[in-house]
Amino acid sequence: MPIHNEFDSIAALRDALRDRKVSALEIADSALQAVQASSLNAFLHIDPELTRAQARAADALLAQGDAPSLAGIPIAHKDVFVTRGWRTTAASKMLADYTSPFDATVVQRLHQAGAVSLGKLNCDEFAMGSGNENSAFGPTRNPWNREAVPGGSSGGSAAAVAGGLAMATTGTDTGGSVRQPAALCGVSGIKPTYGTVSRFGMIAFGSSLDQAGPIARHARDLLELLDPMSGFDERDSTSLEDCDGVANAPGRIRNAFDAANARFDAAGPRPLEGLRIGVPEEFFNEGLAADVAQAVENALSVYESLGARRVAISLPRTRLSIPAYYVIAPAEASSNLSRYDGVRYGHRAQSYTDLADMTSRTRAEGFGPEVRRRILVGTYVLCHGYYDAYYLQAQRIRRMIADDFQRAFADQCDVIMGPVTPTAAKRIGENRDDPTADWLADIYTLGVSLAGLPGMSIPCGFSADPSPLPIGLQIVGNYFREGELLAIADRFQQATDWHQRKPESK
Amino acid sequence: MEWEIVIGLETHAQLSTESKIFSNSSTRFGAAPNTQANEIDMALPGSLPVLNRGAVERAIQFGLAIGAHVAPRSIFARKNYFYPDLPKNYQISQFEIPVVQGGSLRFFVGDEEKTVNLTRAHLEEDAGKSLHENFTGPHGESSTGIDLNRAGTPLLEIVSEPEMRSAAEAVAYARTLHALVVWLGICDGNMQEGSFRCDANVSVRPKGQKEFGTRCEIKNLNSFRFLERAIQYEARRQIELIEDGGKVVQETRLYDADRDETRSMRTKEDSDDYRYFPDPDLPPLVIQPEWVERIKASMPELPAAKRERFESELGLTGYDAAQLTMDRAVAAYFEETAAVLPGGQAKLAANWVLGELSAALNRDEIGIAQCRVKAASLAALIQRIIDGTISNKIARDVFAAMWDGEHDGNPDAIIEARGLKQISDAGAISGMIDDVLAANPAIVEEYRAGKQKAFNSLVGQVMKATKGKANPQQVNDLLKEKLG
């Protein structure tokens, strides 16, 4: 049992580390042991010596007494963030032996904040999937039930936190890949506003949608990672310098969190008095499982008891978010993944007749079926003659979806809440013969991604299964409201204990 | 049947930035393979492009110089195709909304002035280079190497309307364009290194027909001579094909300089669908009017403006003004020369710069920067023509001596030392005329009989007797007087 699990929060572990009650090296060693003993298949690459070197460096800083906020905190990165030390494979055979000569900005920033990395986490190949079954290195298992998927694409990231292997992890969210696995594993996750966290060093899937975000047990721990992760980066041209008049830099989200908290504290026994929660009718459609609907309903009641008010809203184009997303994301992916051709790095076919044959064989062998499927879809929708009908039309719908959210935030509500997924985690292999069935289950998360809004998931209950599986509550805010979202989630977690439930150790 | 040739040019000018268009690696030419390619140029996983402002500035300068619209908002797009020296397997370019829109170029083809409109100019990145020759793989097998030093080099692709009607026009356009980008300093113009290369779209149609014929694109012409020959060959090929009852197929062709012919590279049927779409890694390129104004203020006087001024203020012909403004250093040399001469004598200076001086430069294959005869010396020489010290003809000899560095290139010292001072003493000239008339009675007779040629012959005799030093006008006048 890793030592860090004895601490309820990063803040508590930080205090212990600073008081030298425990060393970063002890923390790292116990976590590494657990990772090595784990059967979750959450980790793809570990390098104990590298981790221990980072832990020793953190200990040195802690000994000096001026350690940064995450000094000694054991984390791990989704394997789409490139790292100098560990291999970076994007869970693909294509990059099975690839090591990057540079670190992703997210990796660099968390390292600078003192975090100790345990290694790289399993995920869907190139972040394409929602069950972690598309990994070339085998599926990650859900700590609550080994037969269930952990969600995806950041399945390893969610499973590692839920399984107690890491205090917090990084993930990426293109259409729900942080929120959905967090929900299915009973942990918390946040995808911030597009442009607030640098994409430099994040292996691209859908560039206009990809955004990194942390996964942890609760909102306060999310804040500990998200705040230092975010900030303008001149190496990413889509990274923002300014967030509504506030510089995009570490401190921005923490300050907003503190300000919101102070407001809530001042409000007395009903801290969220005046908060208007928009509940979109389209999120409670016929596809929503009864147990999920009930858990979300209960969560909304908790919020009401905290002083918030429910407002029925409509996001009329929710259903259109599926086709829009599954045109735009594959279109961008088809181009982003063109670079994997076996010429400069990565997998190259053993035998081929000519150049074209080398490219096709390399890509046919190197990519798994879901990645190939999306490349084909993306190539098709960009083709001359189809571009207007698919890609441009999807972009139009995307703008309309973003407008729908803006209308709701302008007139009706401060935050939007609803389910993350229509059901709790499915069984591994369940939709194997119907690959697009999984696409439909992304209905509640895609709109937020298309609009570039911040969204998070926090645990709010369990399914009616004989072996109950976690259910998540989605909270969506307007642009740059990450601090407020976390503070609102934190109030829920002060009032409930869903986030403290742990799967039985198996 | 009479045929008309229709030509449009697409020119790639490599922009003179220190670093690449989307990365900070160097653009220097000739480095060891792959030593100037970083993670962005190699398209390593996780790398992202960041636009080089210097490249945009150069595009804006070009737009201003041709009187084009500089788009306040333009879009970078991905042009998707697989090729091993294209590391991302897409090229970042501009497609629907380019940064420079419209504009025109004026130039002379022989004595005739021509204006060609430009469609657009857009920013894009260059690809790397495949090394097919003398390259062996790790096991000694013949192989192809990839050098990515050039990958990501900034290019401005300049597209003309199909408004040229002969190879000579196309070459004149290309030369003027070349002169302009070098003048602006946005391109080094080095054609051997590929800094300036043209693709020519060529079609033919019966004279008088409105519709264009089917065009062929000839790729990568990196000299004006190849451009001219390729167009000539291609037009001839198409005309012969049609006259023999065939049909031109739209295709991309390559010019083989050794055989002086174009060859098919690929036809439109098997051409790629580039699947252009806006690059999600790069936000729209927004150019504020203030930025354009700042660049405008910092730019040198443009050739077009200088040309106007040479015509209106200095009274030069359009042709001379155009010739003098092909090269910034030549224009400056001319201006320096003309500045010290009395008003109204700029034409003389233009004649000398475009005539004697240019011929000498060409003969020695040097540029004006290496010219030994400085503008001040040339002006001093021209001054001696104006004040009647020497004739135009003698001045050419003096110039040759200056060119050879005699007397440190000082024209007065050369005139003095060689005794070339013009004889303007009426008495002396009169005496010599008398001698000539006395010695050539037969010619005098012919003149009297009405033969004008005889007069010229007598003038020649007098000039010969004075070793060319007599003032020709004076000789004329006196001779006429004496012959009554």
Is it the case that residue A454 has pLDDT exceeding 90?
yes
Please compute the mean of the pLDDT values over residues B275-287 and round it to a whole number.
Answer: 98
Residue A284 class from Cβ within 10 Å (0-12 exposed, 13-18 middle, 19+ buried)? middle
Any residues with CB less than 8 A from the CB of A32 and at least 6 apart, and which? A46, A48, A51, A52, A118
Q: Give me the pLDDT at residue B440, please.
A: 87
Section A217-244 average pLDDT: 98
* Domain residue extents for chain B: 3-291, 301-418, 426-483
Class of domain A3-250: alpha beta
**Complete DSSP assignment for A28-97:** HHHHHHHHHH--S--EEE--HHHHHHHHHHHHHHHHHT---TTTT-EEEEETTB--SSS---TT-GGGTT
pLDDT tens figures, B125-162: 999 998 887 777 777 777 888 999 999 999 999 999 99
Measured CA to CA, the distance from residue A377 to residue A325 in angstroms comes to: 12
Q: Among A102, A238, A384, whose Cβ lies nearest the Cβ of B39?
A: A102
Q: Which residues contact B418 (CB under 8 A, 6 or more apart)?
A: B397, B398, B401
Contact B48 A391 (CB under 8 A): no
Q: Which of the given ranges, A401-410, B385-394, B466-475, has the highest pLDDT on average?
A: A401-410
Mean pLDDT of B389-397: 88
pLDDT single digits (tens) A240-297: 999 999 999 999 999 999 999 999 999 989 999 999 999 999 999 889 999 999 999 9
Coil, strand or helix at A345: coil
Phi, psi of A146 (to 5 degrees): -65, -15
Which one of B44, B51, B84 has the shortest CB-CB distance to A355?
A: B84
Cα separation of A170 and A77, whole Å? 5
Task: Verify whether the Cβ–Cβ distance A344 to B283 is below 8 Å.
Answer: no
pLDDT at residue A506 is higher than 70: no
B84 and A338 within 8 Å at the Cβ level: the answer is no
User: Known catalytic residue: A120?
Assistant: no
Region A405-410: mean pLDDT is: 98
- The mean per-residue pLDDT over the stretch B407-420 comes to 88
| Top-confidence residue, B483 or A385 | A385
Residue B475 in this model has a pLDDT that exceeds 90: no
Whether residue A231 is predicted with pLDDT greater than 50 in this model: the reply is yes
HEC assignment per residue over chain B = CCEEEEEEEEEEEECCCCECCCCCCECCCCCCCCCCCCCCCCCCCCCCCCCCHHHHHHHHHHHHHCCCEECCEECEEEEECCCCCCCCCEEEEECCCCCEECCEEEEEECCEEEEEEEEEEEEEECCCEEECCCCECCCCCECCEEECCCCCCEEEEEEECCCECCHHHHHHHHHHHHHHHHHHCCCCCCCCCCCEEEEEEEEEEECCCCCCCCCEEEEEECCHHHHHHHHHHHHHHHHHHHHCCCCCCCEEEEEECCCCEEEEEEEHHHCCCCCCEECCCCCCEECCHHHHHHHHHHCCCCHHHHHHHHHHCCCCCHHHHHHHCCCHHHHHHHHHHHHCCCCCCHHHHHHHHHHHHHHHHHHHCCCHHHCCCCHHHHHHHHHHHHCCCCCHHHHHHHHHHHHCCHHHHCHHHHHHHHCCCCECCHHHHHHHHHHHHHHCHHHHHHHHCCCHHHHHHHHHHHHHHCCCCECHHHHHHHHHHHHC
**Per mean pLDDT, which range of A413-417, A431-435, B379-383, B405-409 is the poorest?**
A431-435
Residue A200 DSSP symbol: T
pLDDT tens-digit profile of A69-120?
A: 999 999 999 999 999 999 999 999 999 999 999 999 999 999 999 999 999 9
Whether residue A384 and residue B275 make contact (CB cut-off 8 A), yes or no, is yes
The distance of Cα A225 from the centroid of its chain, to the nearest Å, equals 12
Q: Where does the pLDDT of residue B451 fall: very low under 50, low under 70, confident under 90, or very high at 90 and above?
A: confident
CB contact under 8 A, A382 and B146: no
Cα–Cα distance, B280 to A186 (Å, whole number): 33
- Phi (first) and psi of residue A36, to 5 degrees: -70, -30
Contacts of B408 (CB under 8 A, 6+ apart): none
β-pairing, A74-78 vs A168-173, is parallel
Which residues in chain B touch residue A339, judged by CB atoms under 8 angstroms apart? 43, 45, 87-89
Distance from CA of B107 to the nearest CA of A (A): 38
Bridge partners of B203?
B6
pLDDT at residue A259, as a whole number: 98
> A131, A137, A128, A130: which is closest to A93 by C-alpha?
A137
Percent of chain B predicted with pLDDT > 70: 99
Strand pairing partners for A215?
Answer: A169, A189
In whole angstroms, what is the distance from residue A68 CA to residue A77 CA?
19
Residues of B within 8 A of A199 (CB-CB) are 48
- Are the CB atoms for B135 and B164 separated by under 8 Å? no
Q: Taking Cα atoms as reference points, which of A207, A228, A446 lies closest to residue A334?
A: A207
Pairing label, strands B104-109, B251-256: unpaired
Arithmetic mean of pLDDT, B386-405: 90
Closest residue by Cα to residue A452 from A240, A245, A260:
A240
Residues of chain B contacting residue A102, judged by C-beta atoms under 8 Å apart: 39, 44, 46
pLDDT per position as a tens digit, A132-141: 999 999 999 9
- In a mutagenesis test of the A interface, which of B47, B56, B78, B147 is the best target, namely the one with the most A β-carbons within 10 Å? B47
With bands split at pLDDT 50, 70 and 90, how would you rate the model's confidence at B450? confident
Structure-block tokens of residue A367: 């990519």
Angle between helices B411-418 and B392-403 (to 10 degrees): 110
CATH topology of domain B426-483: Arc Repressor Mutant, subunit A (1.10.10)
Q: Which two tokens mark A174?
A: 């293109």
Kindly list the residues from chain A whose CB atom is less than 8 angstroms away from the CB atom of residue B89. 338-339, 341
Of B194, B158, B130, B150, the C-alpha closest to B20 is B150
CA distance A360 to chain B (A): 10
CA distances B153 to A87, B21, B121, Å, are: 30, 6, 16
Phi/psi-derived region of residue A200, left when phi > 0, alpha when psi is between -120 and 50, beta in every other case: beta
Of A235, A335, A355, the CB nearest to B80: A335
For B87, nearest residue in chain A (alpha carbons): A339
Q: How many CA atoms lie within 13 A of A16 on its CB side?
A: 19
What are the Cα distances from residue B446, in Å, to B135, B358, B375, B437? 80, 42, 47, 12
For A356, the enclosing helix (H) or strand (E) is helix A355-366
In angstroms, the separation between the Cα of residue A251 and the nearest Cα of chain B is 25
Residue pair A455/A430 in contact (Cβ under 8 Å)? The answer is no
Which of B42, B46, B84 minimises the CB distance to A82? Answer: B46
Predicted local confidence at residue B271, as pLDDT: 61
Q: Report the pLDDT value the prediction gives residue B37, as an integer from 0 to 100.
A: 96
A38 is catalytic: no
Distances B225 to A315, B167, B231, B235 between C-alpha atoms, Å: 65, 10, 10, 15
Q: What is d(CA B424, CA B433) in angstroms, rounded to the nearest whole number?
A: 13
Which class for B431: exposed (0-12), middle (13-18), buried (19 or more C-beta within 10 A)? exposed
Distance, in Å, from the CA atom of A140 to the CA atom of A91, rounded to the nearest integer, reads: 11
Task: Spot the catalytic one: A130, A135, A154, A177.
Answer: A177
pLDDT of residue A363: 98
Compare CB distances from A331 to B88, B277, B282 and report the shortest one's residue.
B277
pLDDT of residue B268: 64
Would you say the pTM of this structure is higher than 0.95?
no
Whole-angstrom distance, CA of residue B285 vs CA of residue B279: 11
Report the distance separating Cα B27 and Cα B33, nearest Å. Answer: 12
Residue spans of the domains in chain A: they are: 3-250
The answer to whether residue B219 scores a pLDDT higher than 70 is yes
Please name every residue paired with B470 in a beta bridge, in sequence order, or none if there are none. Answer: B423
Judge whether B280 is closer than 8 Å to chain A, CB to CB: yes
pLDDT value at residue A323:
97
Q: Which of A378, A383, A452, A443 is nearest to A205 (CA)?
A: A378
Known catalytic residue at A23: no
The burial of A21, by beta-carbon neighbours within 10 Å (0-12 exposed, 13-18 middle, 19 or more buried), is given as exposed
> Do the beta carbons of residue B173 and residue B103 sit within 8 Å?
no
The answer to whether the beta carbons of residues A109 and A62 sit under 8 Å apart is no
What chain A residue is nearest to B130 in terms of C-alpha separation? A343
Paired tokens of B327 = 């090269």
Question: Which one-letter amino acid corresponds to residue B389?
Answer: T
Q: Can you give the pLDDT at residue B270?
A: 58
Of A238, A339, A383, the CB nearest to B89: A339
- pLDDT (0 to 100) of residue B265: 85
Q: Which of A132, A38, A142 is nearest to A462 (CA)?
A: A142
| pLDDT given for residue B454 in this prediction | 86
| Token pair belonging to B61 | 């300068």
**CB contact (8 A) between residue A238 and residue B89:** no
Average pLDDT over chain B, rounded to an integer: 92
In whole angstroms, what is the distance from residue A103 CA to residue A6 CA? 31
Smallest Cα distance from B281 to chain A, Å: 6
The pLDDT value recorded for residue B464 is 84
**A110-114, A208-212, B404-408 — which is least confidently predicted?**
B404-408
Give chain A positions within 8 Å (CB) of B146: 343-344
d(CA B33, CA B149): 6
State the CB neighbour count (10 A cutoff) for residue B312: 10
Give the pLDDT of residue B481: 83
